[in-house]
DNA sequence: AGACTTTTAAATGTCAGACAAATAAAAAGT
DNA sequence: ACTTTTTATTTGTCTGACATTTAAAAGTCT
């Protein structure tokens, strides 16, 4: 592992990049211990604080974990699903909130991806996933729910739908799309009537999945997309009129 | 912003978390300047190196950027698509390579998501995307291509297909799924015959997109998935027999 | 007065050395 | 043989310093 002295980038960024490359290329394998900070400082001919900054960069991406003590050090971390989920959600949420992405674009992407899960979910759905979906539907039906709670339950319903496909990679990819929409959804005021419409579609989707009817579920998901878009539009129209 | 003195986590991790939360909650807006390292050290009652480690963590996630000089400092960064792409690819690649995910699972997720793009791509495909797809097909058809180059072109073809949907959020989500498969694909030896089969399907897909026939494109994408799976199986069978 | 140069101040980047705290292995004691 | 103590190693944190970059302020010349 070498760093380029001609580069203008921070030394800590260069070192982090070198180690990251080594991990991604397989030169460093999972649970392998990196040299101690002092040794790394020697190898790269930098000070220990600089090495530490590099290691913190990698830790932020869950590429390494550190342990104190005699047999401690920095170890190549196995990127777990929860870690990957968290990163996915952070990145997706920020991408959406910082780039003036229209509700339509985000919504379209999300529902397109969800429809990709539906055929698999219809085929493989388990008792667990169906139970979760029904439970969330029940929660959503209760009156007196805040908009935030309604949205949170909506997210949980859709996550159960996605997880129903039984493909963890697909779940990982989708979690960002679903969760990142929540801040946008939270801007919407859900009237009792619009909640009823959404819940009815949720029921219809759950029923279709239950009956292993992927085509029907897909169509109803599209109807839900249309309903969501309609709702968002009416809110935005109201809001811009209010201004 | 406060940190919890009872927490066992590193101070730098706590500080990074506090600032991250402030950014994600909108308390700090894009391009806003954070206090200087010395001021942050005062506010959090820690030393400057600790603050710096926290800032490096955030920089690793592209949440902030730093600038030297009189008017320099740390600024809340607008997460750009390229940055988001890079993070998505890193995370997806590591997730796949470190978690013993079967080729089938990864392949299924990827093609399910690609099929989600196809109806939109068929509807909106531009001259540019079609040209890119055709160009990559041409490249793939050349003999004497290494397996790596063939795979790279395959990725480029699929990215063009995805981008054809004209939804940047969808592209962002898909880029991880497509790119993360490349290391797995690179393990495959592509015979001349298997290359021909893949290229033929690429042509068929491009044609269908060209004719705005989303259904046909989707079916052919499924055929490509089956072909890829078959190919991978034959390779793995050969390999395990060789051992 | 206006344009150019020099100085200065503020900020990050880097370094050196030190001590604290955690941890496991080795040594000592019972 | 078991428990306790010591010790060595490693990360976590702090202090203080200097280097480098950058823009604004001050100064200088035409």
What's the pLDDT tens digit per position in B193-211? 889 999 999 999 999 999 9
A-interface mutation test, from B56, B106, B170, B219, most A Cβ less than 10 A away: B56
B-interface mutation test, from A8, A112, A179, most B Cβ less than 10 A away: A112
Interface membership of B30 toward A (CB under 8 Å): yes
Nearest nucleotide relative to B51: CA against C1' = D13
- Three-state secondary-structure class, residue B136: helix
- Three-state secondary-structure class, residue A64: strand
Check CB contact under 8 Å for A56 and B12. Answer: yes
- Three-state secondary-structure class, residue B74: strand
Q: What is the pLDDT of residue A6?
A: 66
Interface membership of A176 toward B (CB under 8 Å): yes
What's the pLDDT tens digit per position in A150-207? 999 999 999 999 999 999 999 999 998 999 998 888 888 888 888 999 999 999 999 9
**What DSSP designation does A190 have?**
-
Q: For residue B9, what pLDDT band results from cuts at 50, 70 and 90?
A: confident
- Three-state secondary-structure class, residue A76: strand
The residues in A 105-134 lying below 8 A from B, measured between CB atoms, are 105-106, 108-110, 112-113, 115-117, 119-120
Q: For residue B100, what pLDDT band results from cuts at 50, 70 and 90?
A: confident
Query: What number is the average pLDDT over the span A99-120?
Result: 93
Question: Does A95 score more than 80 pLDDT?
Answer: yes
CA of A71 to C1' of D2 (A): 24
Evaluate if the CB of B5 falls below 7 Å from strand C. Answer: no
From residue A180, give the alpha-carbon distance in Å to each of A14, A165, A217: 31, 20, 23
CA of A68 to C1' of D6 (A): 19
Q: For residue A216, what pLDDT band results from cuts at 50, 70 and 90?
A: very high
SS3 content of chain A, % helix, strand, coil (to 5): 70, 5, 25
Interface membership of A67 toward B (CB under 8 Å): no
What's the pLDDT tens digit per position in A26-66? 999 999 999 999 999 999 999 999 999 999 999 999 999 99
Please say whether the beta carbons of B164 and B124 come within 8 A.
Answer: yes
Instruction: Please state, rounded to an integer, the average pLDDT across all residues of chain A.
Output: 92
Q: What is the pLDDT of residue B242?
A: 58
Check CB contact under 8 Å for B94 and A59. Answer: no
List where CATH 1.10.10.10 sits in chain A.
11-76
What's the pLDDT tens digit per position in A115-156? 999 999 999 999 999 999 999 999 999 988 999 899 999 999
According to DSSP, the residues that pair with B74 across neighbouring strands are B66
B32-39 long-range CB contacts below 8 Å, 24 or more apart? Answer: B32/B75, B32/B76, B33/B73, B33/B74, B33/B75, B34/B64, B34/B73, B34/B74, B34/B75, B34/B76, B35/B73, B36/B73, B37/B74
Residues 6+ apart with CB under 8 A from A14: A3, A4, A7
Evaluate if the CB of B11 falls below 7 Å from strand D. Answer: yes
Residues of B in contact with A58 (CB under 8 A): 60
Instruction: Please state, rounded to an integer, the average pLDDT across all residues of chain B.
Output: 92
Nucleotides of C under 7 A from a protein CB: 9-18, 21-25
How many CB atoms within 10 Å of residue A2?
8
Q: What is the pLDDT of residue B110?
A: 95
Evaluate if the CB of A45 falls below 7 Å from strand C. Answer: yes
Assigned token pair, B52: 């710096």
Evaluate if the CB of A72 falls below 7 Å from strand D. Answer: yes
According to DSSP, the residues that pair with A64 across neighbouring strands are A76
Question: Does B7 score more than 80 pLDDT?
Answer: no
Check CB contact under 8 Å for B167 and A96. Answer: no
Q: What is the pLDDT of residue A33?
A: 97
Q: What is the pLDDT of residue B238?
A: 66
What's the pLDDT tens digit per position in B106-161? 999 999 999 999 999 999 999 999 999 999 999 999 988 998 899 999 999 999 99
Evaluate if the CB of A138 falls below 7 Å from strand C. Answer: no
Nucleotides of D under 7 A from a protein CB: 8-17, 20-24
Interface membership of A218 toward B (CB under 8 Å): no
Interface membership of B67 toward A (CB under 8 Å): no
Q: What is the pLDDT of residue B184?
A: 86
Q: What is the pLDDT of residue A204?
A: 97
Evaluate if the CB of A71 falls below 7 Å from strand C. Answer: yes
Question: Does B241 score more than 70 pLDDT?
Answer: no
Nearest nucleotide relative to B70: CA against C1' = C10
Locus of tokens 């760093």: A3
Interface membership of B172 toward A (CB under 8 Å): yes
Q: What is the pLDDT of residue B239?
A: 64
Evaluate if the CB of B68 falls below 7 Å from strand C. Answer: yes
Please say whether the beta carbons of A34 and A28 come within 8 A.
Answer: yes
Q: What is the pLDDT of residue A191?
A: 87
Residue in A93, A112, A172 closest to B117 by CB: A112
Locus of tokens 């697909």: A170
Q: How far apart are the first and last CA of chain B?
A: 58
Locus of tokens 């007196």: A144
Q: Look at residues A56, A61, A92 and name the one whose alpha carbon lies nearest to residue A74.
A: A56
Check CB contact under 8 Å for B172 and A105. Answer: no
What CATH number labels A82-242?
1.20.120.530
Query: What number is the average pLDDT over the span B74-103?
Result: 93
d(CA A123, CA A44): 54
A11-76 CATH fold: Arc Repressor Mutant, subunit A (1.10.10)
Q: What is the pLDDT of residue A7?
A: 75
Q: What is the pLDDT of residue A183?
A: 86
Q: Look at residues B115, B91, B221, B157 and name the one whose alpha carbon lies nearest to residue A113.
A: B115
**What DSSP designation does A34 have?**
P
List where CATH 1.20.120.530 sits in chain B.
82-242
Question: Does A236 score more than 80 pLDDT?
Answer: no
Find the residue in B nearest to A162 (Cα). B109
Within 13 Å, how many C-alpha atoms sit on residue B135's CB side? Answer: 10
């Amino acid at each position: 592992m070498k760093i380029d002295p001609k580069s203008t980038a921070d030394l800590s960024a260069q070192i982090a990049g070198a180690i990251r490359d080594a991990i991604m290329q397989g030169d460093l394998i999972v649970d392998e211990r990196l040299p101690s900070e002092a040794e790394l400082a020697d190898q790269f001919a930098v000070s220990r604080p600089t090495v530490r900054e590099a290691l913190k960069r990698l830790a932020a991406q869950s590429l390494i974990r550190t342990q104190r003590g005699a047999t401690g050090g920095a170890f190549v971390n196995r990127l777990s699903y929860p870690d990957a989920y968290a990163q996915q959600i952070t990145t997706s949420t920020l991408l959406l909130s910082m780039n003036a992405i229209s509700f339509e674009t985000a919504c379209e992407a999300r529902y397109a991806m969800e429809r990709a899960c539906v055929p698999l979910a219809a085929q493989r759905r388990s008792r667990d996933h169906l139970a979760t979906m029904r439970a969330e539907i029940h929660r959503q039906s209760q009156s007196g729910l805040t908009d935030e709670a309604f949205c949170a339950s909506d997210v949980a319903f859709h996550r159960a739908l996605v997880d129903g496909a039984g493909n963890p990679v697909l779940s990982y990819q989708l979690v960002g799309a679903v969760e990142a929409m929540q801040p946008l959804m939270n801007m919407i005021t859900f009237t009792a009537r619009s909640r009823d419409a959404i819940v009815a579609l949720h029921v219809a989707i759950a029923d279709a999945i239950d009956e292993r009817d992927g085509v029907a579920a897909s169509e109803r998901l599209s109807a839900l997309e249309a309903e969501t878009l309609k709702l968002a539009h009416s809110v935005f129209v109201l809001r811009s009129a209010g201004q």
